[in-house]
Structure 1
Amino acid sequence: MAKPTSDRHQSPFRITCRELVVRPENKKEVPVIREVVREAFHPMPFSTGREWKLVEEIRQSPGYLPSLSLVALCDGMLVGHSIISLIEIEDKKKPHNALVLGPVSILPDFQRRGIGQELIRIGIVAAKRMPLPAMVVVGDPAYYSRFGFEPAVPRNIHMPFGFDEEDYLQVLELKKGALKGVQGVIKFPPSFFDEKGDLL
């Protein structure tokens, strides 16, 4: 498989995929995925520059779900990656197992081609086969609402530590009525934090 490269002078409007394949990642693709995630977030003003590390920490954690870590291949070239992993929503009574979407990474020259949407759509379809009530994401509500995500705070689901990102916290019910009685604070696993305790 060709290693992905990004020609900054190439117009993205000239890039089209004759064949787009979305499937679970394999171990041999880890180095390529690392570079895809780095390049995808490099131009983003909100990027921490550590999204690649978050993906690799999740991959080494108990919350890693191989069937929900997906790659997108454009004519055989790996151009995108998404990961869905396990988290908990904790209330005073008990923890509720749930899923979290992200990061979703597309090489800059292949963005705005619907590749990210296809990764998310296929990931959600696979997630709905699991016996879990919900998936959360922190991202642009205008974008993620198209997949059925809705604001989490009105459902009394909150970010930990009072993060300012609560306006971007959204939740998707994976089965009808599955969120009934599910509320509380998102508990991210240790793989989501650096050595200082900050989210990656």
Structure 2
Amino acid sequence: MKITIRQETKRDYQTTEDIVKKAFKDAEYSDQKEQFLVSRLRNSKVFVPELSLIGEVDGEFIGHIMLTKLIIENDEREYETLALAPVSVLPEYQNKGIGSKMINEGLRIAKELGFKSVIVLGHEKYYPRFGFRPASRWNIKAPFDVPDESFMALELETGSLAEVIGTVVYPQEFFE
């Protein structure tokens, strides 16, 4: 199976939202509203068009990922980072490496664009394969109660989180 990964365009928006809805339909830790989050993020100042990616097989849309701007702040400073959310693959294509390929491509592009780090709230057994580690390792905290092993960070540039201390501030679009 040959997977093509490309940047999402405005023409893709409805299909993408359908993919996201189907991908999370039976997910255990989901409110089944991730498609609305994607739409809100696209219409916000945190949206990075180059980091909204579609996965295709034989011209069929089968997956989508999005990385958006995020802030880590403390009393003295703000640090820009990215949020990886959501990662969506149609159920019939899950567990075939498609999500991994999309994530790796998204991380590659993010690094190429000059971003230094990424935050993810996700499965503690899945995301470490990409280099994610508990964010607490860098004194980075979630703004809500979450298991330490599920709230992770990744340095896209070695040492980029070494001096970062603070709490992640998610944009309002994540909470609407």
Fold match, TM over 0.5?
yes
From 175, 184, 189, the counterpart of 2:157: 175
Partner Cα separation in structure 1 for residue 34 and residue 173 of structure 2:
12
Letter in 1 for 2:137: P
Match of 1:4 in 2: none
The higher radius of gyration belongs to 1
User: Structure 2 stretches of 5 or more lacking a match?
Assistant: none
How many percent of aligned residue pairs carry the same amino acid?
35
Secondary structure, aligned partner of 1:141: coil
From 10, 15, 25, the counterpart of 1:42: 25
From 120, 123, 148, the counterpart of 2:106: 123
User: Structure 1 stretches of 5 or more lacking a match?
Assistant: 1-16, 195-200
The answer as to whether partners of 1:87 and 1:189 remain within 8 angstroms in 2 is yes
Partner Cα separation in structure 1 for residue 137 and residue 3 of structure 2:
37
Letter in 2 for 1:122: E
- Using the TM superposition, name which of 132-141 and 67-76 deviates more: 132-141
Is 1:29–2:12 an aligned residue pair? Answer: yes
Secondary structure, aligned partner of 1:83: strand
TM-score by length of 1: 0.85
Partner Cα separation in structure 1 for residue 77 and residue 56 of structure 2:
40
Letter in 2 for 1:64: F
Is 1:133–2:116 an aligned residue pair? Answer: yes
Runs of 4+ in 1 over 6 A off after TM superposition: none
TM-score by length of 2: 0.96
Secondary structure, aligned partner of 2:38: helix
The answer as to whether partners of 1:138 and 1:165 remain within 8 angstroms in 2 is no
Match of 1:14 in 2: none
Question: How far apart are residue 137 of structure 1 and its match?
Answer: 0.4
Partner Cα separation in structure 2 for residue 31 and residue 116 of structure 1:
20
The answer as to whether partners of 2:138 and 2:162 remain within 8 angstroms in 1 is no
Count of aligned pairs between the two proteins: 176
Letter in 1 for 2:129: R
Secondary structure, aligned partner of 1:182: coil
Partner Cα separation in structure 2 for residue 43 and residue 171 of structure 1:
26
Partner Cα separation in structure 1 for residue 6 and residue 87 of structure 2:
14
User: CA RMSD of the aligned region, Å?
Assistant: 1.0
